[in-house]
Homo-oligomer: A and B are copies of this chain.
Amino acid sequence: MHDAPRWLDTGEQQAWRAWLYSWMLLEDRLNSDLVQQTGISHAYYEILVQLSETEGRQLRMSELADRCLSSRSRLSHAVSRLEERGWVRRQVCAEDGRGQLAVLTDEGFAALEQAAPVHVESVRTHLFDQLSPTQVAALRDVGETLLRHLNDQP
Chain A residues with a Cβ under 8 A of chain B: 5-8, 11-12, 14-26, 28-29, 69, 116-117, 120-121, 123-124, 126-128, 130-131, 135-147, 149-151, 153
Contacts and interface: CB of A to CB of B under 8 A. Distances in A.
A143 B15 contact: yes
Contacts of A14: 140
Contacts of A131: 142, 145-146
Question: How many chain copies does the complex carry?
Answer: 2
5 contacts: A11-B137, A12-B128, A17-B143, A18-B139, A22-B146
B69 A143 contact: no
Nearest to A30: B20
A140 B139 CA distance: 10
A17 to B, nearest CB: 8
A6 B120 contact: yes
Given A5-B121, A22-B143, A135-B138, 7 more contacts: A14-B140, A15-B136, A15-B139, A15-B140, A126-B146, A130-B146, A130-B149
Contacts of A123: 8, 16
A112 to B, nearest CB: 13
